[in-house]
Structure 1
């Protein structure tokens, strides 16, 4: 029996790439979305449509989803994984970094949801998985703007779940602690990057992206009448 299409944003590295490999191994056709198509193609996954898309541009997201559905059939799930973690002090962090996180972490998730939700409502089924963070549940120093965007992901997920539950649509929030990804490298404050790396080391290291990918797959694999509403995971040594 053929498996349904899954859409995955931010699929070129880290959690996204690990999740793509797992879902492909399960036999799903995939729409892989990222800005670096060469990374997507290097995954070399069968039945994977790789598209260069800026998730902050709604029309681009909707066009890619429509193309994938034309080729593979309706999207049964989306994993909204694309995001940015730009840490900084509120008093002097470049405002452009706030704007980038708002556009990517909030609007990008909303646009991903909008691209698949009408079809899911019409079919009365589907799964929306939003990748948030422990920083969407509690605050951390130098994370103010980032926390604001991830708290928003938690809020929109909870509200959306209430809207679509009666239509048989599941909404899942994945909230990892520190993960070994490229996210930290984009923080412009060198001291904050150094302090964060020292904090990770003191906690015994961060999560492997594969572990987070497995939590995504676990939630998706549950029967359609079971929603794993939220998974919070972190390395054992991460105290906060």
Structure 2
């Protein structure tokens, strides 16, 4: 599938996987809409895309607010007239033992990782279904398949994304809309910085950045997303699990 003139919306697009994906898609000729709460980061990404010869606009907003998500989608539609691909990338990971009772952090993960995904789907799916064309990519995690100590709530949100993705895939078949759940393992992003529990944050970073344990780059996940998107229209890459060679679980 040639991406020239295709319009792609990427949530959580200011850094990490979102940024890498924006640059990757722009190089293929797609018109990119990046959204995030980080206005400065979005401006930098758009500048990088334009310097590389691509086209990008930013839409500042939080995926936790349904009206803001609709505004983001409306910005894409008003600017480019259509929206072909949604990449639900925004996420947060303030993991901690359940006994620590960090309920505010649990609420935040549920709002961003589950509700944010649903709000974006709700805003774009009807238009795709009407056109009988489109692709929704949800970024979950290897934690959508496994469970890890101190990551019960985070893993729960990612299990939910996997379930939502597969159910949507089954419902979207009749409309010709494809759905892909991307499940990254350890990736060098800012995500561990969202862990407020100091002991857990230190342990996660020590494990991820151990010299003998090279982890993935955001560009590796962007390439995986591109693989799923670029298949012929009759091919649906329903799930794609991407881990570093060294990662056992």
Query: Shorter-chain TM-score category?
Result: over 0.9
Q: TM-score, normalised by structure 1?
A: 0.97
Aligned partners of 1:193 and 1:103: how far apart in 2?
21
Write the deviation string for residues 76-135 of structure 1: whole angstroms up to 9, x where unpaired: 110000000111010114100000000000000001111110100110010000000000
- Give RMSD over aligned pairs: 1.3
Match of 1:88 in 2: 96
1:197 is displaced (CA, Å) by 2.0
Structure 2: any 5+ residue segments left out of the alignment? none
Structure 1: any 5+ residue segments left out of the alignment? none
User: Is residue 2:87 matched to residue 1:79?
Assistant: yes
User: Is residue 2:52 matched to residue 1:50?
Assistant: no
Aligned partners of 1:95 and 1:227: how far apart in 2?
37
Confirm or deny: 8 A CA contact 2:59 2:75 kept in the other structure: no
Write the deviation string for residues 168-200 of structure 1: whole angstroms up to 9, x where unpaired: 000000001111111111111111112112222
Residue correspondence of structure 1 range 179-218 to structure 2 within 5 A: 179-200=187-208, 201=210, 204-218=213-227
Aligned partners of 1:123 and 1:70: how far apart in 2?
17
Q: SS at 1:75's partner residue?
A: coil
Match of 1:104 in 2: 112
Choose which of 43, 64, 68 in structure 1 pairs with 2:76.
Answer: 68
Q: TM-score, normalised by structure 2?
A: 0.93
Match of 1:222 in 2: 231
Choose which of 149, 155, 169 in structure 2 pairs with 1:147.
Answer: 155
Q: How many residues align?
A: 240
User: Is residue 2:128 matched to residue 1:115?
Assistant: no
Aligned partners of 1:225 and 1:76: how far apart in 2?
16
Q: Deviation above 3 Å: which 4+ runs of structure 1?
A: none
1:202 is displaced (CA, Å) by 6.8
CA pair 39-139 structure 1, distance change in 2 beyond 3 A: same
Aligned partners of 2:195 and 2:179: how far apart in 1?
30
Aligned partners of 1:64 and 1:174: how far apart in 2?
22
Confirm or deny: 8 A CA contact 1:55 1:112 kept in the other structure: yes
Confirm or deny: 8 A CA contact 1:14 1:181 kept in the other structure: yes
1:73 is displaced (CA, Å) by 2.0
